[in-house]
Structures are given as structure tokens and as C-alpha cells.
């Protein structure tokens, strides 16, 4: 996604539910597979 001063590169994980008209996203400092799992399990 880009860079933030003091954090370096940041990546956006976005979730879109078109059936329920709901969407959210989280920023991460790595693009490991664990970040994709975290965004789905985070409530």
C-alpha cells in the first residue's frame, strides 16, 4: 500500500462482504500469510 514514517512499508488487508454490505480493512507491516488469517479471525 505504501510507507509510513517510523513504520516502513505497510500493507492493507481488506475484507468485503457483498451479501451483507459490510467491509473493513487492517494495516500490517508484513505480508505474511498469518496476516490474512489474523484479519479473518480478528473481531
1-42 residue pLDDT tens:
688 788 889 999 999 999 999 999 999 999 899 988 998 887
- Nine-digit cell string for 29: 507491516
Residue 24: C-alpha distances to residues 28, 40, 41 (Å): 14, 10, 13
Structural domains of the chain, count: 1
Determine the number of helices (DSSP H) and then strands (DSSP E) in the chain. 1, 3
| Residue-number span of the structural domain to which 16 is assigned | 2-41
Q: Kindly indicate the confidence band of residue 43, based on its pLDDT and cuts at 50, 70 and 90.
A: low
Amino acid at each position: 500500500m505504501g510507507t509510513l514514517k517510523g513504520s516502513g512499508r505497510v500493507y492493507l488487508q481488506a475484507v468485503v462482504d457483498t451479501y451483507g454490505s459490510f467491509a473493513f480493512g487492517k494495516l500490517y507491516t508484513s505480508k505474511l500469510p498469518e496476516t490474512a488469517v489474523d484479519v479473518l479471525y480478528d473481531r
